[in-house]
Homo-oligomer: A and B are copies of this chain.
Amino acid sequence: MDSEKKQIENKAFTEECNAVLMAVSDALYAIGGKWKLMIIISMARGNKRFTEIQRQVKGISARVLSSELKELEINGFIIKKVAVGYPVTIEYELLPYSQTLQEVVEAMTKWGMQHRQKIKTESSLDKSKN
């Protein structure tokens, strides 16, 4: 391969790489962070109330949950529904757009499970060495 051709290929390669990086960066901006995916997962299982979600998403504080829900609403993943009455009941619902995350969630879940398995195997190997 002559060096001119190499340069052209490298350029295309770099551009493809940049496109992928930009996409992943966009994705991380919207759904990155410790909580957003977990909240969506919990809601996809039917949790709608603030306290329900907080109970299932272990470790999240009310303050953080509150601000995450706001961001998810702004970004079109969920909607907050306030039903008048005594007492007022507030429910959060997934919007169709959050369905588009299904593949991402599935891939992460699958990977997370096999990763946990790997860690477990490694730590039991460590033990058997001692």
Contact of A25 among B14, B38, B106, B114 (CB under 8 A): B38
Q: Which residues of B contact A119 (CB under 8 A)?
A: 26
Contact of A115 among B27, B33, B106 (CB under 8 A): B27
Proximity bits, A89-129, B CB within 8 Å = 1, else 0: 00000000100110111111111111110110000000000
Decide yes or no whether A79 CB sits under 8 A from chain B.
no
* Contact across chains for A23 and B108 when beta carbons are under 8 A apart: yes
Decide yes or no whether A30 CB sits under 8 A from chain B.
yes
Complex Cα spacing A37 to B28, Å: 10
Give the number of chain A interface residues (Cβ < 8 Å): 47
Complex Cα spacing A100 to B115, Å: 9
Decide yes or no whether A5 CB sits under 8 A from chain B.
no
* Contact across chains for A23 and B112 when beta carbons are under 8 A apart: yes
Complex Cα spacing A22 to B109, Å: 8
Given A13-B46, A24-B38, A56-B18, residue A103 in contact with residue B110 (CB < 8 A): yes
Complex Cα spacing A41 to B20, Å: 8
Report A's interface with B, CB cutoff 8 A.
Answer: 13-14, 16-28, 30, 32-34, 37-38, 41-42, 45-46, 56-58, 97, 100-101, 103-116, 118-119
